[in-house]
Each structure stands twice: as structure tokens, then as C-alpha cells.
Amino acid sequence: MTYRTAGQRQRPNSRHFWVNAPLALGVVGLVLHAGAARAQTPPPPPVNGSQLTAVIVKGKTPAQAARAKLSKIPGGFSVVDSAEVAKGRVRSNADLLKLQPGVIAAATGAGGFDSIKVSIRGSGVNNGVGYFRNGIKYEFDDLPVTTPSGTPYELFDPQGLDYTEILRGDNAFTTGDLALGGTIDYHTNTGRTAPYSEIRTEFGSFGYIKGSAATGGVVGPWDYYINVIGESQNGWQQHSNASAQHVIANLGYQINDNAETRVYFRYGKELFYGPGALTRGQIESSTPDQAQLAYLETNYKRNQPGSELIGDVTKLRFADNQSVELGLAYQNFPIVIGPSSTSAPILAKWDYGNIAAQVKYENTSRLFGHGNDFTAAAYWSDDIYGDAKEEAIAADGANPYGTSYSYLGATYKIAPTSYYNIPGVTAGERLYWNKFNGSTDQTALLSDDFELIHNLWLTLGGAVVNTPRNFNTIGNTYVTGTTIPVVQTPSFRSSETNLIPRIGLLWDVSQDLQLFTSYGGNIEPREDWAGGYGPYSGTTASTYPNYGILNLKNQEADTVEVGFRGRYGIFQGSTDYYYAQVSDELLTIYDASIDANTTINAPHATHQGVESELDTVLWQDGGSFWGDTTGVNRVHLVQTFTWSDLTFNSNGGALSNKTEPGLPPEYYQGELAFDAANGIYANFDATAASGTYVDYLNTWKAAPYVVYGLTVGWQQQRADKKGWQVSLSVDNLTDTKYAVAIAPTYNANHADYANEYPGAGLGVYSAVDYKF
């Protein structure tokens, strides 16, 4: 089956993939209109000139209000209601982001609970799991978690949330995020949205257990919410045991009818052991749950001993049409990587601190008698301190697993991973110390939505982005007569300024249909540590001259998007097509032979894709299809489909016309859901992905796959949302062996390469929840 779009090159035939996937739910004819119940497409706003009135409607949940407000965006977005997610297991963001168009969220046992691989529109293609996330801006309650160093993930427990906004690509313009993937904004429960106490426990296969206790309430002008979470697992894959603790809290104060302030706090602590990536042959063998030998020998683990975020958001309203939002946040995230045993002689210690501030002004006053929504905003994020140190934890010769390794003309005694046992060092000796303080992201923007004629809205905007980066080498240890294999760079400072345009059209054709198109720019600065590591001379550099050099440029892109969203009869959904020209794309090359990564600026590339969703009511015994379905019996089919074509342009040297690896070109998710009036529910789901290249030279692929899941449960039906809820979930019903994520390498040389992360096998999980 192939598809063509005007101006779009034909995509490869994918018959093998599609023979399997649609048969799972019998939905071949609906795939291009895929949809998600957890992110039901919002209906167009009322046709009344000012779109803000759609937000202020009595009886709407916060998630519904968010959909109504975001419906003025001329592009793709979705909103996830956490009440729907809580019907099953809520282990990681892969559970939360399931069934979202344009979003690929892959969870493995290779990096703890939430070090998953997340990608939107080709973002994050370069990473496997267990790395700082990039290409997407992450926020909690409008406060940024993403910093100039990237996005740490230990704070991302999906419990305790009310709803989540996903703004794809440059549709996240007014959030101050201009990255290729857009913004994911998690909104926490408050004492006003969750005025009750809650106890929840989850348990199941592979030693998984998770428990949480939460309470919230309102006391006069004050409200409060706190959730304490603990979890542990033995893990499906060998050497993937993990434990974590989280605290989520906020305190709000309603100053008066037009002013409120809220303090937020998040704490996360996690320790996990890493099994590493495998080859396709290992995954398809009789022991797909094995760990990479090097990770076992070095007892590899990552300790995130305690990260916290504390911030405040203050909202002020003036009359009925103007508002100001002020935000301030501080976060700290220390990390220790490496085993405690002498089998791996180097311990990496990272410690970051960041302060972020922002101000946003909105005015919805009519202009020249027409509807008009104006936004002005400024965002600032500064790494006030950032340390990276490596220390020898074993003296020369103390490593029983050391081997001889030649690199750039020198021979080193090393462990089987990147932890080098360098000749002549002593235990406790510091090998290097780098600082990144002073790296900053600064954005100022203006945006205006103007109603040209009745129901036709024009969006115009522009942003200035400045991204200073600072890298200071405090000290390195070089052993006499040799050099450290991973060459450390000298101190340097760089700064780039980019101008970003935004233009769009949104036509409210009717109450049930919106058409939109837009053009916008994207930029993504490198993380402040990127380019400071890795070889910048030798064979690799001569083959690929940008490999690991200092002067990495900001990634830039220009994106055009066109699409629709709406509903008709039993159908509700959306489809959008985007086309982006990307220059200086920031990608990571992974070398499994030394277990190391290096960031590069890649040649120009074209990113294009289709993001589609469809929710179809197959049977319902009363009520409105798309209104309140409480008290009715209902069967509906939820589908999402993401097609991605990420290709280097013809002038890319060795990479010319190659497909970017790491992400499946076709990705489908579907769920057949039954909801009974008495609270019983059952969902049968399928996820299918096409074969995926594992290397930039396109010499080897991970296999396509289809996996199935089942959830059954019961929720007590009460108007106050209190009471019992129980569920039983079965993952990977057919115990399929497959690679769920990939850490791309440059050249697999047509050989089976150890950079594929296996998906978990058949597992059974239960959840019990009581609200009172």
C-alpha cells in the first residue's frame, strides 16, 4: 500500500507491515483518519468572534477547557485526560502518551521507570533510552523542566496529573518553545480539581509494585495537593531492577477574584541498573531478556539521588479581556553514573542547577470590530551551575575485565564499556572536571490571532531567540606518554541569535469542522555539554568532519502544515500533514564498540509526515455521541496513525538520500473500547510499527512488529468521582519478541548491531484505587 501527496515523494512499499497491523482490529479503511479517546479532538470554538469565551464555560473539566482554548491553534495538538489513563496501569509516560497522533513513546527496561524514548515529528531520533531528552520542551504547569543542558527525566512520574497538553511542532510557539517536536505540558492536580484523598497501588509481573497516597482540599482562599509515590521492579530484562520515590505537591492562594498564585514542588529519586542494548539476533533468540555482557560485567547503574523542582505561577486578570502570567522556577538534578565495583574504574558525576523565569501577557479585546487574541511573552532559562566530573575508582590493573583497545595510535587497557582503566591512574584520581554555568536560553515573542472575516482567523507572530553556551574545562589528567581516549576540549563560549516567524490561517467552517494551515520556524540549540566530548581528529573526523567538534550550530527548520479537525455523525478526528526543511540537525552517533556518543550537525534533511486520529462510535444505547456519556453503554474504536519520512537531502555526502534511523516510518495504535453504564470497562489494543533502520547509512533494520494488550476493569459510578476503581491489564498478549527503541549508530556495515532495546514480554498487572 502506498500513498502520494502533492509535492511529496512516494514512500516505500510497506506491505509486510500493513498485512499484519490493520487485521488486528479490522480498520484498514480508517487508518488515515486515526483518532484517540484519551485525546479526543476538540470541536471548533463557538462562532462568536472571541475564542476565549469558549474557555469560560460552567461544568467543563480543566481538560475540556484546555481543548477549547487550544482549538484556536492552526495546527496539530492533543489533550490527554488523566482520568482515562488511570483506567489501567500508570507506570511511565509511555502509558500516558499512548494513542496520541504524531507521538512515539517507547518504554523499555533499559533505563529505569521513565527514561523512555519520546519523539514528535522526528525529534529525539538520535537518542536511545536513558539519556537527557531533547527536541521537545517539557513543562510542569507551564514551568519549564527543559534547560540548556536538556531534559532530565527523574521527575516525570505520570501519577498526580489532571491533564496533559501536547503541542506538536511550531504549534507550541506561544510557550516559548521553538524545537522541532513542540511542547508537552503536564498539569498537576490541585486541591480544587482533586478535593479528596486517594490511595492507589499497582503490582504485577517481574516484581513490579507501585504505591501512592494523595490528598487535596480547599480551606477558604487556600487549596493544597500532595502525592507521595514509591515504586520498584525486578525488571523483565536481566539487570534492569530499579526503585524510585516521588513527591508531588502544590499550594494555591486565591488573592481575589482576579489574582491567584500557586507554589509547585516536585521531588524525584531513582536508582536503576542498565541491561544495555542487544542485537536483533539476541532479541529474536530464546533469551530475549538477556543483558549485554559488558553491562553485567561492569554492574552498570545510574543513580539520581534526589532532584527537585520548586516554582511559582501567579496569574493576574484585568477586566474581562487581559491577563498576565508570571512564572519562576528553580531545579536541581544530580546524577552519578557507573558501578560501585572495581570492575569499571571510572565514576561519572553530574550536577546541574537551573533558574527559569517567564512572563506572558494576553489581551482578547476586539480590534477594529473584529475578534483578536494578542500574546506577548518572554522566557529565560539559565544553568546557574553545571558540573561534570569523572573520577577513577580503581587503580591501574585493578580491573579484572580489562582488555586491550587501540585508539588513534595508542593502546589502552579498558573495561568492556566506556569506563576506561587508564594506565598509571590511582583510585580517586579525578580525570576531568568541566563546568557549564552561564549557558542560557532566552526567548521574546509576539503573536496575534485576528479574525479577518467571520470565522476566518489569521495568526501572525515572531520571536527572537538567543542561546549562549558556556563550557569551561577546570582540569584534566593526562597520563604521561598517552592521551585519554575520549579527548576533552578546551574551554569555549558561543552564542547564536535566531529570528523565528509564525503565520497561520484557521477557518471555522462550522461548529463541527475546522480547516487550518500554517508556516513557522523552529530552532534547537545544542545542550551545553554537547560538542565538548568525543574525538575531533582521526579517521572518523576525516570521514565526517563535524563529528564531535566544538562549533556545533543551532539546528534550524522551516515547517509548513495543513490539516483539519472535526466530527461527523459517529466519527470524530483530525488529520494534518507537515513538511519541514531541517538544516544543521543535531544528531548523536553511538559507537557500541566503546559505548560512547558524540553529537554532530548533520547535513540538510527533509522531515515530512501525516498525523492522524479517529474515534468511531460503533454502538451506543443513548445520549450524545460526543457529549457526556455517563450512564450509557458504549463501544467505540480509537485509532492513531503516524507516518514519518525523515530523509537526508541529496547533497549530504555519504548520507545523501538516506533515511534517518531510530524511528519507524509507519506507527499505528488502535483500541477497541467498551464502557458500560454500571462502570465496567474493557479495552483491547494493538500497536504496530514498520521495520526501522538502526544506522545512518541504512545498512541494517530492526524488524517490524505488532503487539497486543488487554485491560478490563470497574469504576464505581459516583457524581463526586470518589469510590473504588480496579483493573487488570495484560501487556504483549502474544509474548512477541521485538525492539521497541533504537540508539542509532553511524554504520552497522550490514551486520547485526547491539543498539536495539527489547520490548518487555508477556506481563500481567493490576491496579486498585480508592478515593475518599
Q: Which residues contact 256 (CB under 8 A, 6 or more apart)?
A: none
Angle CA(324)–CA(330)–CA(332) in degrees, nearest 5? 155
Question: What is the pLDDT at residue 425?
Answer: 52
Q: Which residues of the chain carry a pLDDT beneath 70?
A: 1-59, 109-111, 126-131, 298, 338-347, 390-432, 473-491, 531-551, 589-598
Give CA–CA dist 106/235, Å, rounded: 16
User: Which of 284, 204, 273, 209 is closest to 762 using CA atoms?
Assistant: 204
**The model's pTM:** 0.86
Secondary structure class of 724 (helix, strand, coil): strand
Count other Cβ atoms within 10 Å, centred on residue 714: 17
DSSP readout, 730-761? EESTT----EEEE--BS--TTS--S-EEEPP-
Maximum CA extent, the chain: 82
pLDDT of residue 413: 34
Measured distance CA(393)–CA(225) in Å, rounded: 43
Q: Is the dihedral of CA 684, 214, 351, 138 positive or negative?
A: positive
**pLDDT at residue 629, rounded to an integer:** 85
User: Do strands 137-140 and 182-188 pair parallel, antiparallel, or not at all (unpaired)?
Assistant: parallel
Q: Which pLDDT belongs to residue 112?
A: 76
How many Å apart are CA 478 and CA 459, to the nearest integer? 56
* Closest of 716, 739, 732 to residue 765, by C-alpha: 732
Q: Are 28 and 21 in contact (CB under 8 A)?
A: no
pLDDT at 470: 84
What's residue 132's pLDDT?
A: 74
First to last CA, the chain: 52
User: How crowded is the C-beta side of 463, counted as CA atoms within 13 Å?
Assistant: 30
Rounded to an integer, what distance in angstroms lies between the CA atom of residue 721 and that of residue 527? 43
pLDDT (tens digit per residue) in 265-305 = 999 999 888 898 999 999 999 999 999 887 887 677 888 88
Residue 517's nearest CA partner among 446, 464, 454, 565 is 565
Burial track 291-320 (b if 16+ CB lie within 10 A, e otherwise): bbebbbbbbbbbbbeebebbbbbbbbbeee
